[in-house]
Amino acid sequence: SLPNTYEGSVAIAVIGGTGLRELPGFTQVASLSVSTPWGNPSSPITILHHECKHNGKVVAVAFLSRHGAHHQIAPHEVPARANIAALRSIGVRSIVAFSAVGSLQEEIKPRDFVIPDQVIDRTKGVRPWTFFEGGVVAHVPFGDPFDEGMAKVVRECGHSLEGDGVVLHDRGTLVCMEGPQFSTRAESKMYRSWGGSVINMSALPEAKLAREAEIAYQMICMSTDYDCWHDSADVTVEMVMGNMKSNAENARRFVTSVLDALASDEHADLVNAKHLAGGIKFGVSTPQA
């Protein structure tokens, strides 16, 4: 079994969603059971060593399975604060998060990838969504919910795989709904009228908490179905799982390419979120002494 400690620094994390519970083909060097003031994360954090294909450098990467090691955690039960706090506590400053999504647009076909640049929050307030409470107040800008620097790298990597079976949509508005039930047809059509591109149950509060923690965060969406607005069969769990499974190899190549890029020297400031450091203090107000 793997050691429960890791000495080196780990700036980059990958969060796996439905169908991506582990990253096969990477060397696992540790498995960390981290506890936080917000409880335990969804799973132990696996530390992987990845050798960058551009410069041969070995980088440590943290991997966390959002729905647990056995996919036992429902979307509304994901301990997002513990997940983000645990990753931050081991040094993580940049996250690439995967998620299965339903498509709200004809041109986004099942198995296509989407790099969203906007989010509409349709969670219902049942998930703890901030680290700041109990007298500590902070207002964090969230006009651009994802990190443009990370997005740029991820888009370039996706496009580099395009001849190889990866279809990538550069932008999109992601609707994050409350689960675990899928949408009604009326809701699905409403989301289309709002300009929604894809829909999932997992982007929030994860992206908000990452912003509060000054972590550069970008989600990579993998379309698994046309949501129920479409004339094809209504979305089922089997459909989501089946398409995730057939897309797992593409997802693995995608993440490998992103890690190769992030490990290069030119992206050192980005993965250490130098552009976010200290940003939050201007919004914080605590009781005056």
Q: Which segment (28-36, 60-68, 95-103, 268-276) binds ligand ADE by CB under 6 A? A: 95-103
For ligand ADE, the closer CB: 26 or 182 = 182
Q: Tell me if 114 contacts ligand ADE by CB under 6 A.
A: no
For ligand ADE, the closer CB: 223 or 257 = 223
Residues in region 202-261 near ligand ADE by CB under 6 A: 224-225, 227, 235, 240
Q: Tell me if 116 contacts ligand ADE by CB under 6 A.
A: no
Could you give the CA distance from residue 111 to residue 254 in angstroms, rounded to a whole number?
A: 13
Q: Which residue number is nearest to ligand ADE in terms of Cβ?
A: 102
Kindly report the CA angle at 93 between 87 and 94, in degrees rounded to 5?
A: 95
Residue of 41, 102, 110, 196 that binds ligand ADE (CB under 6 A): 102
Range list of β-strands (E), 104-236: 113-114, 118-122, 137-138, 168-169, 173-177, 198-200, 216-226
CB of 171 to ligand ADE, least distance (A): 19
Kindly report the CA angle at 115 between 67 and 232, in degrees rounded to 5?
A: 75
CB of 100 to ligand ADE, least distance (A): 4
For ligand ADE, the closer CB: 168 or 280 = 168
Residues in region 167-186 near ligand ADE by CB under 6 A: 177, 182
Question: Which residue type does 258 have?
Answer: V
Q: What 8-state DSSP symbol labels residue 64? A: E
Question: Which residue type does 216 have?
Answer: A
**Other CB atoms within 10 Å distance of the CB of residue 226:** 22
For ligand ADE, the closer CB: 105 or 224 = 224
Binding-residue total with ligand ADE (CB under 6 A): 13
Per annotation, catalytic residue among 164, 227, 260, 265: 227
**Other CB atoms within 10 Å distance of the CB of residue 80:** 24
Q: Clarify whether 225 is annotated catalytic.
A: yes
Q: Clarify whether 260 is annotated catalytic.
A: no
Residue 71's Cβ-count burial label (10 Å; 0-12, 13-18, 19+) is middle
For ligand ADE, the closer CB: 85 or 240 = 240
Task: List, by residue number, the catalytic residues.
Answer: 225, 227
Binding site residues, ligand ADE, CB under 6 A:
100-102, 177, 182, 199-201, 224-225, 227, 235, 240
